[in-house]
A and B are shown apart, each in its own frame.
Chain A
Amino acid sequence: MIRIQRGRIDVKAVVDSVRRDDAGAIAVFLGTVRADPDVEALDYEVYTPMAIRTLTDLVDRAKAKFGVLGMSIVHRVGRVSVGGDSVAIACAAVHRAEAFAACAWAMEEVKRIVPIWKRESGPRTRRTPRRRSGARRKAREARA
């Protein structure tokens, strides 16, 4: 399952899409919208045809690189409120090690190459979609 969608993500459906009898592990990652100061929601903009293409290629590379059995990725487009899921990745593998590794790798690849941009939205925040600087991201992670 590779999908860009406006509505909420049905996490169970994403997990079920990679279930198979020869898998001994399913790793699931959810990216959620964090309640940073002045942030009530994130608005996601997607170049959907290219995003689907890059996600499809990403899943193929994950299978080749980690030997995973199945991987699904669903990303939201449009507004996602604080606490909502913006992205879900489910990865099935024979053993947990490759499931965890592939899931983590896939999320990094999503942030690196998939044409998706986000804009913070809040009472005093009307920002242009942008990439967070490394310093700012590290500061946020340090507070998390």
Chain B
Amino acid sequence: MSEATWLLPRILRAEVKLTTSMGVALDKRERESLVPRNTSTLGIVAVLFRCADRQVDGRWLIADPNDYWGEITEAGLHISKEDLLRAECGQPSLREIREYVRTNWKAFLQAFREPALAGLEPLKKELSRLHIDGALRSRLPTYQVLDLDHRKTVSAIISAHGESVAGQIFQALFSYLLASAGYRSVTINTVGVPDVELGEPNGERVGYILGPFSQDEVSRLHSYCEAASDQRMAKQIAAVLEGKSPSENLG
């Protein structure tokens, strides 16, 4: 399993969905739960498809619902497969998190195939124990998991437990997959919103998602402002880099 190269937001919130149709609905409450309170929080929606489309089946499609796309109604947001695929092209700030999930998801599912087939509780217990021990990664196979086997595993889990329970199983797997990138705290809300909240990032890979820019890019922007003697802008950017409001450094 590769190390997370992306900057972990301090809090990562996610609505995690499994669908056998061509889209999912995100109600108002769910959508609102993903609205970031500050620059160090990230809200995403992750959808796992199994809709007889080999191009997306078994893949997590991840998007930021706060960046407008799809069809918004009073009831909430209807997100189609095409919306998500478009969002993948149009939300570069999530590029790294998507890459992390894409690189590790097949191996992660393969590693926890047996407990996942056994049921939600055994799986959660196993994931939680390994997460606490910091041993999630040690379980991952070193070989390349075949797409064919991966799709079969997804189908097998859905067949074994039904779509509803399978949805929770995949929710747990997705949560701990992201947690394995470096989050100590994993909260899975079976009733409330959002579905998943990850916090307490460890290590130094903690950063912010600033629109389309990574923290490194914002740092470069900061240095350019300084070089250009735009001190006001430099101070504002420095505040953002410190996790504060841009105006805080202006006194």
A binds B: no
